[in-house]
Amino acid sequence: MNQFTFNIKGILTEFNRPQIMGILNLTPDSFFDGGKYSNESQIIKRCEDIIAQGADFIDIGAVSTRPGAAEIDEKQELARLLPALKIINKYFPQALISVDTFRAKVAEIAILEYGAAIINDITAGNGDDLMFKTIAQLNVPYVMMHISGNPQNMQNQPYYQGVVKEIQLYFAKKIQKAHSVGINDIIIDPGFGFGKTIDHNYEILQNLNKFRITSCPILVGLSRKSMIYKLLDSTPADALNGTSATNMIALLKGADILRVHDVKETLELVKIYTKMMQFENVKI
């Protein structure tokens, strides 16, 4: 199993098992649970479930990034995000929060005013020229994801000459730039479903271990995505079994963090994986 150490809210924290991020979508139009968490009681219940079921982090997003999603401005994003952060701070002050945003100002407010621990940026700095500088000043772990295009156009015939090598090169350049401005704790996310065909996604999954060359922890977001339910001729609502299968493959291929809707089921597979890996180097 992979081990890594991050500065989490000023404390050097060592992680020696796969981590789980439970998803809290504040958007009305996300592909699976859009609109389900729009008031205080719904947000409290979702956070209670995420924590009770064993997640290590709550990943909060206020901007939909599904294919073709409508753009919203910074004011709208903050109007969705800040009330939820206030609720979590009030009822779950010990929760570790990851904020899914590509805007530097939103990241700054979330960290400095609401105690968030991680910034999760689907654009890896491309969405806001100030993001890298801001993350360096905040000194927090930073998830940089690969995306081809943007949510509005990313699925318009995505093409790569070699998807794995192109993403490797993308991360090499991004990590070099991040280090040059003083970002220390970097997590990479290959961006399943973000500007990729079904074949691209499964080629990335098969070769996920090749991204370990970056020496950065790997986050995967496979939960209930179209690469699963379209392959199985199903729906997001019926994609839990496929999600568990692909998440286990991801762990076996070197994933360190699983971003999921279904925390209980994910913790079960992490426990199975962790137990199995105790015997990884046993000679027979």
Non-local CB neighbours of 6 within 8 Å, separated by 6+ positions: 12, 13, 15, 141, 185
Banded model confidence at residue 281, pLDDT cuts 50, 70, 90: confident
Q: Superfamily for 17-277?
A: Dihydropteroate synthase-like (3.20.20.20)
Distances in Å between the Cα of 118 and the Cα atoms of 95, 131, 142, 231, 233 are 12, 13, 6, 32, 35
Residue-wise pLDDT tens digits, 147-165 = 987 776 767 788 899 999 9
Measure the CA–CA gap between 8 and 234, rounded to whole angstroms.
Answer: 39
Predicted confidence at residue 48, as pLDDT, reads 97
Q: Scanning the structure block, which residue is given the tokens 């074949």? A: 199
- Three-state secondary-structure class, residue 238: helix
Measure the CA–CA gap between 129 and 146, rounded to whole angstroms.
Answer: 16
Average pLDDT of the residues of the chain: 93
The torsion angles phi and psi of 154, rounded to 5 degrees, stand at -65, -25
Residue-wise pLDDT tens digits, 36-87 = 777 899 999 999 999 999 999 999 999 987 776 778 999 999 999 999 999 9
CB atoms within 10 A of CB 221: 27
Contact between 211 and 254 (Cβ < 8 Å):
yes
- Mind telling me the catalytic residues? 225, 259
Residue-wise pLDDT tens digits, 195-221 = 999 999 999 999 999 999 999 999 999
DSSP per residue over 152-191, as a string?
TTTTSS---SSHHHHHHHHHHHHHHHHHHHT---EEEE--
Alpha carbons within 13 angstroms on the beta-carbon side of residue 198 total 9
Output the six-digit token pair for 203. Answer: 């080629």
